[in-house]
Amino acid sequence: MLKYLLKRIIWMIPMLIGISLISFFIMHLAPGDITSNESAFNPKASEESRQKLRKMYDLDKPIIVQYGLWLKRIIKLDFGSSFASHQRPVLWEEKDKNGNIKPGLIQKALPITLLINLLTIFLIFSISIVLGTIAAVRKNKIPDRMITLFVFVGFAIPGFWLALLLMYSLGVSNQILPISGLHSIGYEQMSPITQFIDMLKHLILPVFISCLSGLAGISLYVRNGMIEILNQDFIKTARAKGLYEKKVIFVHTLKNALLPLITILGLSIPGLIGGSVIAESIFAIPGMGKLFYDAVLMRDFPVVMGILTIGSILTLLGNLIADLSYAWADPRIRRGLTK
């Protein structure tokens, strides 16, 4: 088992180098760099000063040299600073000589995105399991049809559209929920409890919108898994020996049907740090999606590469965790691994 784990982890290193190489080159193949975007059509900004900037950022060097420089830094876990004029560190805050702290970009954006995504995934899985189970038990009857219709409508509705409608009806017409942002004005002066409620109120709409499109996939997974298992012989046996239907469904069927969900859960780990650009823009949430999107448009290479690197590490780790937990949950696979 340990040998297997070591092998998997060592394999990650060449994979990571490969991923970073490809993303670095693709990023640099896109036309333009930060200097041409910040002031491309500002007649007051001269071409000489742009050349000067290019030199300062090493953008005038051959691409392979630039990759080498980047790799050298990243091995020391130094993600560098953004090319944008705020020059904030990509990953974590830095102190200058006077003790002033410059906050890191990912450090500020990640907790918000993580919070929203964890809430979303938790809700998607719990609602989907309930819906999928009901649909499977009532296969092809009205509840099943209604649930399928509902999750597909949720899947098909454009999120930004529904978001605007909800913002209008709940935020403008009836001022029940805040429209956008993470905190209200005056948040600093609130007591911890009101702060928590305020934050929660701001999260309701974004989390609801992110959940809606995810329900369809998972609930159908659960439904089909349940149906498949309900048709198997051991369920017939269970029923034949006179078990209560509740026990048949919740203990024997559901437990088996949930196994494939572990893989999906593992694979959603990298998704935890990726935010949705559209939802974040509409709800004015300063998360990872907007950070990455803006960095790509600005050709802010250190930020793009920083997020991609962290994303790929998490993807590989997610795969590993999915495999391991699968083995933990299913003895048949565990036996296969140790052989």
Partner 1 sequence: MRLILTSILFICLFGCNKSQIEDVNFDEEASQESGGTLTNAMIGEPNNLIAMIAGDGASSLIAGQIFNSLLKYDENLEFEGDLAESWEISEDYKTIKFNLKVQKKWSDNHPITCKDVLFTWKAVTHPDTRTPYGSDYQLVSSAQCINDYQFIAKYKEPYAPALETWASLHILPEHLLKNEDINNTYFSLNPVGSNYYSLDSWVTGQQLKLKGNPNAVHGKPLIDNKVSRIIPDLSSQFMELIAGNIDLMSINPIQYSRVFPNRPELNKKINLYKEMGNGYTYFGFNLKKRPFDDINVRKAISLAIDRQEIIDGVLLGLGEEITSPYKPGTYWENKNIKKLSFNPEKAKELLENSGYRLNNNIYEKDGIPLSFEILTNQNKQREMTAVLIQRRLQDIGIDASIRVIEWASFVNRFIKTGEFQAVVLGWSLSLDPDQYSIWHSSQQGPGQFNFIGYSNKTVDNLLEKGRQELNKEKRKAIYNDFSSILYDDQPIIYLYAGYGLSAIHKKIKGVKKLSPPAGIYHNDYEWFVPNKFRRNEMSL
Residues that bind partner 1 (CB under 8 A): 30-32, 36-50, 52-53, 56, 81, 84-87, 96, 98, 100, 102-103, 108-109, 160-161, 164-165, 167-169, 171-175, 179-186, 188-189, 280-284, 286, 290, 294, 297, 299
Looking up tokens 């709940």, which residue turns up?
170
Question: Is the Cβ of residue 281 or residue 325 nearer to partner 1 in the bound state?
Answer: 281
DSSP collapsed to 3 states, 221-286: HHHHHHHHHHCCHHHHHHHHCCCCHHHHHHHHHHHHHCHHHHHHHHHCCHHHHCCCHHHHHHCCCC
Shortest reach from residue 236's CB to partner 1, in Å:
52
Minimum distance, C-beta of residue 82 to partner 1, in the bound complex (Å): 9
Shortest Cβ distance from residue 133 to partner 1 (Å)?
36
Instruction: Measure the CA–CA gap between 221 and 236, rounded to whole angstroms.
Output: 22
Which residue's CB is nearer to partner 1, number 55 or number 141? 55
Q: Which is nearer to partner 1, 47 or 233 (CB)?
A: 47
Taking the least distance from each CB to partner 1, the nearer of 42 and 338 is 42
Query: Residues with Cβ < 8 Å from 104, sequence gap 6 or more?
Result: 88, 89, 90, 91, 92, 93, 94
Residue written as tokens 């929920």?
177
Nearer to partner 1, 80 or 132 (CB): 80
Nearer to partner 1, 43 or 331 (CB): 43
- Least distance CB 51 / partner 1 (angstroms): 8
Report the 10 Å Cβ neighbour count for 213: 19
Length of the chain: 339
In Å, the largest CA–CA distance within the chain is 86
Q: Which two tokens stand for residue 320?
A: 């590993």
Closest distance between partner 1 and the C-beta of residue 238, in Å?
52
Q: Which lies closer to partner 1 via its Cβ, residue 5 or residue 176?
A: 176
What is the per-residue burial (b if ≥16 Cβ within 10 Å, else e) of 254-288? Answer: bebbbeebbeebbebbbbbbbbbbbbbbbbebbbb
Handedness of CA 153, 158, 161, 166 (dihedral sign): positive
**Nearest-approach distance from CB 174 to partner 1, in angstroms:** 7
For residue 305, the minimal CB distance to partner 1 (Å) is 17
